[in-house]
Structures are given as C-alpha cells and as structure tokens.
Amino acid sequence: MKDIKIAVIGLGYVGLPLARLFSTKYPTVGYDLNPKRVEELMSGHDSTFEVDDSLLQSALAGGFRCTTDLEEIRACNFYVVAVPTPIDKNNNPDLRPLYGASETVGKVISKGDIVVYESTVYPGVTEDECVPIVERVSGLKYNIDFFAGYSPERINPGDKEHTVEKIKKVTSGSTPETARIVNEVYASVITAGTHPAPSIKVAEAAKVIENAQRDINIAFVNELAKIFNRMGIDTQAVLEAAATKWNFLHFKPGLVGGHCIGVDPYYLAQCAQQYGYNPEIILAGRRMNDGMGEYVADQVVKLMLKKGIQVLNSKILVLGFTFKENCPDVRNTRVIDIVRTLQQYNAHVTVHDPWANPEVARREYGVEIVNELPRDTFDAVILAVAHDTFKEIDFDTLKNGHTVIYDVKGILQGNIDGKL
C-alpha cells in the first residue's frame, strides 16, 4: 500500500495521542462525533491532558486536523478505530460504540483499504462482530475488497513516562500482506518496537488477559489487606518485606477502576461463558475488587465509632474522585462506591478533586465535587486518590479535634487512623 492516509475514529484518551503520533509521518485526520471535543482540539487544547498543547498545536500546524464530517475521512485508506468498549450495569460488554464506529467506517471505506481496531474486546469480536457491519454498510467483501487488522491500545492515562510511542505495540492482520502493512505503519512511529501476532484473535486475547492478570493480582493483595487488618498487621510493611525476594510480584491494595483493569476481565469472562466455561478466578477477582470501595467506607465508619464520633450527619471529606492519580479521567471510578456507602449512613460527604471535571462527575454519577480544597474541618478525611497535590496538604487544618484520617493509597506519613 502506497501513500498511506490515516483516519483515527475516536479522539479520546487513546485515539488522540495515536492520531497525533501518526501525523508526524502520515497525512492524518481525527474523527469524533462530539463537536465540542473537535472544536477544543482544533483550538489547540486537549482537556484530557494526554497530549501536551504544544505538541497538539505543532501537529495542527503540520496539517493534522480533527473533524465531525465523514467526507473529510473518505479519502483515507488506513482507518483506525479507537472508541471505548465499556460494560453495562450488569457487567456485560457493551459493544455499541464499536458497532457505531464500524458503521462509520463502512460508509467511507473503499477497495483496497485497511481498518485496524484498537478497542479492547474479547477474541473474535473484530472478525465476527465488526467486520460484518463494515461489509453490510459498504457492500464490499472482507479480505477481497478490504482488509482488517487489530492492534490493542496500551495507553496508560496520566502517565507522562510511558507515552504511546514508548509502549511496545502488538499488531496483526487478516492476511499475511495486511499484517505486514499494519506492522510497518505502527513500527514507523512506535519507537519501542512492535510484536506481530500470528492472528487477529491472538492479538485480541493478548490485550484482554493483560488487564485480567493485573486485576487478579490486585485482588490477591486486597484480600491480604482484609486479612492483615483483622490481625493488626501493616499490609504495606508485609509487602515491602516480601518484595525483597527477587521474583516477588509487587502489587498494592486499592480501588480498581478505569476503562481497562476494572472492565476487561468481564470481556474475557463473557467470551469464556460463550464457549461453555464458567471462569472462577477471574470473576472472584472482580468480586473482591468491586467490593473494596464499600469495605473502605465501612472501615472508616468503624474507626469513627471507636473514637466516639456520631456517623449520622457527620462531615466526611473524600480526597480524589478520578480512577487514578494525576489525570482527569473518572470513567468507572470506584471512589463512587465509598461516597455512596457513606451516604447510606446519612453522612454529609464532600468530594474534593483538583483534576476532575465537576460537570462530568455530576452528569455521570450525580455527585457534586469541588476543585478547591474546602476551608473547613471534618469528622473524617479519606485519601482515595494519590494526586501529587494531596501530598502537600496540611491535614491538621482539616481536623476538628477527633478526626479520623484514612489512607487508601498508603502515601501519607505520620499519625493516621487507618489504611489498606
């Protein structure tokens, strides 16, 4: 394939960094359904902070553009789909964004073109679910008129060290020639290199087990935290001692949310069940991690009662609402479980997060958050997210004489009442 022209569909945490990177080597257009998002990006600002404004503005000056107009991506011949793959309220995979993106590709794809999917899915989705939609809408035949690839995203939101070009990329294609082209395109911009997988299904499976493995490991240390808490043993101290052995895997207890680790295991479980196997360890890990927010809230309530603090109508401050530190992403944040459990006790909960967008938190979760640290005292303070700015807080200014301090992330020094 000569004169590659790339269209990236979906300009969120995954699509934008990738589109910006591709634009350094190829004519690239970013497509998104959200006019406000496109307008923001074309003004040279990324509200997710995944791409520095200086890099975005440089890309725009070099010819990169973002659009909501399908006609502007019709001339492209290498389509990359980077839309979210969430779960529904019953923890079942929600492939609707992927179906919609496939219809979009079907409307503009031409003979000889390639469509590469980056969205996390279970094995088989690309070829069995997405490609038939492209065929139906376009009227073209798969592996005759157009071709497909899969290269799973590995973006780590908020991580300024492991940026997209520094993370090794798995690539795959529907034919040997397609696999070669897809790999060459990615290898031309990914400085960390690529790993060609033998098939699309292998690449899909590789991605979905990456996060399932991490989820299970975190579930193990979360269970350890529950055990050691009952025994009066410092979990962090235990993990530090155990980590002195060269082959010990170092994970920390905590809340597990976000668009990957807290979601992908459900995709793998769904796939297993379709083949008649009921996964045990995967779903047990999910149950453990999904229950940690409620566990934290209950631990705080117990500590308050031990201090003689009345929980009813008490004032509790939760520090952090995003699913991880130093980024504005609130997708699938499990901090909400802490907040809702405390509200069930009729406590007055204030949520402070300097990174999160209050409008998004209100729309997605019905929670009011404040970006500025309140000038008030509280009956309990819970550090839920390890934002760098929280390390500079003088917690004495938040205390009312009997305040419970609980550290979910294990980063606070000095006298605290409880931690995972």
The pLDDT, as a whole number, for residue 1 is 64
Give dist(CA 253, CA 131) in Å, integer. Answer: 40
Domain count, the chain: 3
CA distances to 301, 322, 333, 419 from 343, in Å: 11, 19, 17, 20
Indicate which residue of 66, 130, 260, 327 is catalytic.
Answer: 260
Distance from CA of residue 64 to its chain's centroid?
25
The pLDDT, as a whole number, for residue 129 is 96
The pLDDT, as a whole number, for residue 262 is 86
Give dist(CA 295, CA 341) in Å, integer. Answer: 9
Whether 238 and 317 map to the same domain: the answer is no
Both tokens of 222, joined, read 């979360």
Give the DSSP H or E segment for 378.
strand 378-383
**Residue 338 domain flag:** yes
The pLDDT, as a whole number, for residue 302 is 97
**Residue 320 domain flag:** yes
In sequence order, what are the beta bridge partners of 418? 406
3-class SS of residue 239: helix
The pLDDT, as a whole number, for residue 151 is 97
The pLDDT, as a whole number, for residue 353 is 97
Give the full edge-to-edge strand order of the sheet including 114-117. 65-67, 28-31, 6-9, 78-81, 114-117, 147-150
Give dist(CA 182, CA 81) in Å, integer. Answer: 13
Whether 98 and 160 map to the same domain: the answer is yes
The CATH number given to whatever domain includes residue 213 is 1.10.1040.10
List the Cα angle 153/156/160 in 5-degree steps.
Answer: 125
The CATH number given to whatever domain includes residue 345 is 3.40.50.720
Both tokens of 133, joined, read 């939609």
Residues in contact with 378: Cβ distance below 8 Å, sequence separation at least 6, in sequence order: 315, 316, 317, 350, 398, 399, 400, 403
Q: Is there a catalytic annotation at residue 260?
A: yes
Residues in contact with 240: Cβ distance below 8 Å, sequence separation at least 6, in sequence order: none
User: Which of 236, 258, 288 corresponds to the end of one domain?
Assistant: 288
In sequence order, what are the beta bridge partners of 148? 115
Whether 26 and 140 map to the same domain: the answer is yes
Whether 156 and 32 map to the same domain: the answer is yes
What does the DSSP assignment read for 62-84?
TT-EEES-GGGGTT-SEEEE---
Give dist(CA 26, CA 13) in Å, integer. Answer: 20
3-class SS of residue 320: coil
Per-residue pLDDT 10s for the chain (420 aa) are 679 999 999 999 999 999 999 999 999 999 999 999 999 999 999 999 999 999 999 999 999 999 999 999 999 999 999 999 998 888 889 999 999 999 999 999 999 999 999 999 999 999 999 999 999 999 999 999 999 999 999 888 888 888 899 999 999 999 999 999 999 999 999 999 999 999 999 999 999 999 999 999 999 999 999 999 999 999 999 999 999 999 999 999 999 988 888 889 999 999 999 999 999 999 999 999 999 999 999 999 999 999 999 999 999 999 999 999 999 999 999 999 999 999 999 999 999 999 999 999 999 999 999 999 999 999 999 999 999 999 999 999 999 989 999 999 989 988 899 999
The pLDDT, as a whole number, for residue 2 is 72
**Residue 155 domain flag:** yes
φ/ψ of 265, rounded to 5, equals -60, -30
Whether 92 and 241 map to the same domain: the answer is no
Give dist(CA 82, CA 75) in Å, integer. Answer: 19
**Residue 94 domain flag:** yes
**Residue 343 domain flag:** yes
Give the DSSP H or E segment for 305.
helix 292-306
Domain that holds residue 414: 291-419
Whether 191 and 49 map to the same domain: the answer is yes
Q: What is the DSSP letter of 396?
A: G
Could you tell me which of 337, 302, 296, 333 has the C-alpha nearest to residue 420? 296
Outline where 192-309 has alpha helix (H): 200-231, 235-242, 264-274, 281-290, 292-306
Length of the chain: 420
Whether 52 and 168 map to the same domain: the answer is yes
User: Which of 145, 164, 198 corresponds to the end of one domain?
Assistant: 198
Residues in contact with 232: Cβ distance below 8 Å, sequence separation at least 6, in sequence order: none
Whether 104 and 22 map to the same domain: the answer is yes
Residues in contact with 391: Cβ distance below 8 Å, sequence separation at least 6, in sequence order: 411
The pLDDT, as a whole number, for residue 35 is 97
Whether 75 and 173 map to the same domain: the answer is yes
**Residue 371 domain flag:** yes
**Residue 1 domain flag:** no
User: Which of 198, 226, 243 corresponds to the end of one domain?
Assistant: 198
Whether 249 and 298 map to the same domain: the answer is no
**Residue 268 domain flag:** yes
**First-to-last CA distance in the chain?**
54
3-class SS of residue 419: strand
